[in-house]
Amino acid sequence: MRIDDLALLSDCRTAALVDRRGTVRWHSPQRFDGPSIFGSLLDENAGHWSIWPATDGESERGYTDDGPILRTTLSTGTGEVTLTDALALDVEREGHRIAGGEVTHLVRRAECTRGEMELEVDLAARPEYGLVRPHLVERDDGWELIGGRTPLRLVSSVPHRPDGDRLRATVTLRTGESADWILAAGELDGRTAESALNDTRNGWRSWAAAHDELPGTHGAAMRRSAMVLQALTYAPSGVVVAAPTTSLPERIGEDWNWDYRYAWLRDLAFVVRALWVAACPDEPQRYFDWIARALGRLDGDHVQIMFGVEGERDLTERTIDHLAGFRGSQPVRVGNDAWKQSQLDVHGEVLDSAHLMRDYLGDEITGPIRDTLIGLADRAASGWRETDFGMWEARDKARHYLSSKVMCWVALDRAVKLAPALAAQSRVASWKKARDAVRAAVLDEGWDPDVRAFTGAIGSDQLDASVLLMPLVGIISGDDERMVATVERIEERLASDHGVQRWADEGSAFVLCGFWLSECLVLAGERERAEQRFNATAASANDLGLMAEEVSLETGEPLGNFPQALSHVGLINAAWRLSESAKGIPE
């Protein structure tokens, strides 16, 4: 299978991924970064739940009601059945506060719309990433699957039979008939599948109502990307995970496989901007409260750049050696050792988002949020000359990455502008002095006259698409001749029909970088080329509008964890930039 065969379900606490053949390939019922009970995405023996015609058929699919509620139409020579899949939302939640209840409910409903069809159901739960094979205990209202830390409860309108450690069913549906299933990670909440689906539809409709009129010709794509960001939100804390999966490879068959089910400060800052653009900057105070709580007092040298969804710090990486990996790509990893890295760019990303949301934060920013923003600015001022591992999280050695210096400039520039609200006027002079020194170093030392471009690291002649951030954050004008030349070099050496590589010979295009290039072209006055680059990058989305992290340069196949929050952030921001630029063009 391919990564773009997958569809995302979410209750804003956790996720499930369903393929085109009606099989749940991934589901961690406790929370996004919890152990899976269905893990056949990474190993055929790690659990799945399939509902498919007994005689092979065809399928078509789509989302309903502007939310991640999947409708798959199954067709055979004898009939047609619509399979609806969702993670149930709480009936009492609405708007941006939508979320599932304390117990995750995975709901599936099959409805025969024409003729008749025999369906085969195969539920093989494998808790703890496939290590546990559960006991099957029949109850009056269904089955209990006992094994691992969370008991699973299955209720259904059709009988099931045990087959070793899995449950099977065969059901024949005729026109107008339906069959229902609810799998709960704990006690059931008493709702039927129909009522749970209705609650979920209503919840996503209330969310979608705030996004009916997004600007420009790409409004529909912006809405879908905003939905993905909402679906990747862990509602209890309000943070957004980078992706709902682990170890989907950046290179098939190799070891570039990482766990992305965590909250990065960088991503959260980018998401805040994208949600502001998409007209849904819900409760920014909550985001910054979470950042301040997760970081704690900034008394040491290290500023942690990523956390668990509740703010956990120790994300030590380990390998799950019993899993074969997606199409043989090993190892499968849980945890991410990037939590230990120094990445100087996060100072600027957090302060930039705070400056963007200043009207929401108020004229006086106090308490832990104030201390955090001042602390990040002070660290940018004192530490910008240091090496770090950069926003691409290099695992070989630290360098003087130019994008890290750029974002330190952003931190200081935004801190100066926020100083009155932070009651930090006494620091303004030192912040300005450091800000100007950083800019001078970036523009002088970051420019390579032989390459005719700003390069990825000071003293290096290697191009890096991260420098496309420079005009987007305002350290240089988009039509400055040095930036125009840099964009030209990146187009020549890193860009292709499939997208933009982060560095030469990477072998895949990083979706976010394609959208950054589109924005840079807008700022350089090249709107037609910007539109072309936007469309080429957005074409990496699957039929449901979901985008992966990367795209193979050879085949155009999506790669990496899926769906990827930053790819959807990039689409929203680039679409907004194109829309704003179009306002000055007469029709």
DSSP 60-96: EEEEETTTTEEEEEEE-SSEEEEEEEEEPPPTT--GG
Supply 583's token pair. 């306002």
Q: Lowest-pLDDT range, 296-310, 324-338, 462-476?
A: 296-310
Tens digit of pLDDT for each residue in 246-255? 999 999 999 9
Contact 90, 103 (CB under 8 A): no
The C-alpha angle 102, 103, 108, rounded to 5 degrees, equals: 135
pLDDT tens for residues 385-438?
Answer: 999 999 999 988 999 999 999 999 999 999 999 999 999 999 999 999 999 999
Share of the chain above pLDDT 90, in %: 82
Least confident of 209-213, 264-268, 454-458, 499-503: 209-213
| Residue 585 predicted with pLDDT over 60 | no
Q: What does the block give as tokens for 383?
A: 């530490």
The distance between the two most distant Cα atoms of the chain, rounded to a whole number of Å, is: 78
CA 177 to chain CA centroid, Å, is: 37
How does DSSP assign 183-198, residue by residue? EESSS--S--HHHHHH
Q: What's the confidence (pLDDT) of residue 213? A: 67
pLDDT at 299: 77
- Ordered structural domains, the chain, with CATH: 3-208 (2.70.98.10), 283-305+342-464 (no CATH)
Count the neighbouring beta carbons within 10 Å of the beta carbon of residue 92: 11
Tokens of 419: 């100083």
Give residue-wise pLDDT tens across range 3-20: 999 999 999 999 999 999
Q: Look at residue 259 in the predicted model and tell me its pLDDT.
A: 98
Which ranges in 469-526 belong to alpha helices (H)? 469-473, 481-493, 511-523
pLDDT of residue 362: 85
- Dihedral of CA atoms 338, 339, 345, 347 in degrees, nearest 10, equals 180
- The letter for the amino acid at 413 is D
Residues 6+ apart with CB under 8 A from 584: none
How high is the pLDDT of residue 92?
A: 66
310 to 32, 176, 295: CA distances (angstroms) = 11, 44, 12
Asked if pLDDT for residue 93 goes beyond 70, the answer is no
Q: What is the mean pLDDT of residues 543-565?
A: 96
Q: What is the mean pLDDT of residues 43-61?
A: 96
At residue 557, the pLDDT reads 95
Count other C-beta atoms under 10 Å from residue 159's C-beta. 10
pLDDT digits (tens, 9 = 90+) for 148-170: 888 899 999 999 999 999 999 99
Reply yes or no on whether the pLDDT at 586 is more than 50: no
Q: Residue 56: pLDDT band by 50, 70, 90 thresholds? A: confident
Helix residue ranges per DSSP H, 244-394: 265-277, 284-295, 345-356, 358-361, 367-383
Report how far residue 326's alpha carbon sits from residue 349's, in angstroms, rounded to the nearest whole number: 33
**Cα–Cα distance list, 275 to 240, 263, 278, 280, 416 (Å):** 11, 16, 5, 5, 24
Cα distances (Å, whole numbers) of residue 371 to 94, 270, 298, 299, 376:
33, 21, 8, 11, 9
Q: 16 with 9: CB under 8 angstroms?
A: yes
pLDDT at 286 over 90: no
Mean pLDDT score of the chain, rounded to an integer?
A: 93
Instruction: Give the pLDDT score at 211.
Output: 66
Which structure tokens are listed for 32?
């996004």
Q: What is the pLDDT of residues 96-151, one digit of tens each?
A: 578 888 899 999 999 999 999 999 999 999 999 999 999 999 998 899 999 988 88
Partners of 508 in beta bridges: 552
Query: Which of 50-59, 357-366, 396-405, 434-443 shows the lowest per-residue confidence on average (mean pLDDT)?
Result: 357-366
- Digit-coded pLDDT (tens) for 505-541: 999 999 999 999 999 999 999 999 999 999 999 999 9
Cβ neighbors of 320 (< 8 A, separation 6 or more) are 129, 331, 332, 333, 334
With 0-12 / 13-18 / 19 or more C-beta atoms within 10 angstroms meaning exposed / middle / buried, residue 112 is buried
Q: How confident is the model at residue 281 (pLDDT cuts 50, 70, 90)?
A: low
User: Sorting pLDDT into bands at 50, 70 and 90, what band is 217?
Assistant: confident
Report the pLDDT value the prediction gives residue 95, as an integer from 0 to 100: 57
Q: How far is residue 490's CA from residue 471's CA, in Å, rounded to a whole number?
A: 14
State phi, psi for 268 to the nearest 5 degrees.
-60, -40
Judge whether 246 and 335 are in contact, CB under 8 Å: no
Q: Between residues 93 and 336, which one has the greater pLDDT?
A: 336
Whether 94 has a pLDDT exceeding 60, the answer reads no
Give the pLDDT mean for 359-369.
90
